[in-house]
Amino acid sequence: MLLLLLVAALASSPAIAQVRRCVSPGGAVVFTDHECAEIGAQEQAARPASPAASSRTAYRGCARTVHDLMYEMTSAFDAHDANRLAGVYHWAGMSGSSAYSILDRLDAMVQRPLVDLVPVMPDSPTSEGAADVGEAATRVDGEYYPQTSVRSTPVALRVEQTQANGITPSRTVFGLRKHLGCWWVQL
């Protein structure tokens, strides 16, 4: 009787489907639970996780500082994870078709090698004659007095990459937006 109950329990358990990542002849990536050959595609092996991706498995909360935002973007590029990059994108007010277009762009970007992620600072007004002194300065009674620099927040983040050939440079500038206390990027 016990053996019959065990066989019945195993027979009624749900089957677990394996999701395969397939590449069609046209180069499109397709996720399916069928064999890739059944849909006329070839199976593509999963990419190995980078050390940066494995050290921080889940992103929790939002980027409270631009530095946190840059860290999350760098981790997304290192892991070639478009979803992780999409997690710091400002999607508010975007239509579905625009969102799909942006997500395709983000996916293409994370596939390219990252060279650098650079904050773009706002233009700072220079004092007259400051170029001669070599630093921001104020002229009082014929004398130059150095001024302390004012920390300013970046207005954008510039992503420096190379194309797949490793030589041709590629540059994308993301605008920065602060919304509900969090920093987000947008194209």
Residue bearing the bigger pLDDT, 13 or 89: 89
Q: What is the pLDDT of residue 135?
A: 47
User: pLDDT band at 12, cuts 50/70/90?
Assistant: low
Instruction: Indicate the domain borders of the chain.
Output: 21-55, 63-125+151-187
Return d(Cα 182, Cα 35) in angstroms, integer: 42
Q: For 89-146, what is each residue's pLDDT tens digit?
A: 999 999 999 999 999 999 999 999 999 999 999 886 554 444 444 445 556 666 766 6
Alpha-carbon 25 to chain mean position: 27
Higher model confidence: residue 182 or residue 41? 182
- The reported pLDDT for the residue numbered 54 is 46
What is the rounded average pLDDT for all residues in the chain?
A: 78
Q: Which of 17-26, 60-69, 173-182 has the lowest mean pLDDT?
A: 17-26
Please tell me what DSSP assigns to residue 113: P
Which of 22-26, 89-93, 109-113, 167-171 shows the lowest per-residue confidence on average (mean pLDDT)?
Answer: 22-26
pLDDT-derived band of residue 165, with 50, 70 and 90 as boundaries? Answer: confident
Give the model's pLDDT for residue 9.
Answer: 52
Of all residues in the chain, the percent with pLDDT exceeding 70 is 67
Task: Give SS3 for 22.
Answer: strand
pLDDT, residue 77, reads 94
Q: Find all residues with CB under 8 Å of 177, minimum gap 6, and list them.
A: 90, 183, 184, 185, 186
Whole-model pTM over 0.85: no
More confident residue, 133 or 66: 66
Residue 186, burial from CB neighbour count under 10 angstroms (0-12, 13-18, 19+): middle
Report the length, in residues, of the chain. Answer: 187
CATH topology of domain 63-125+151-187: Nuclear Transport Factor 2; Chain: A, (3.10.450)
Please report the pLDDT score of residue 132 as a whole number.
Answer: 46
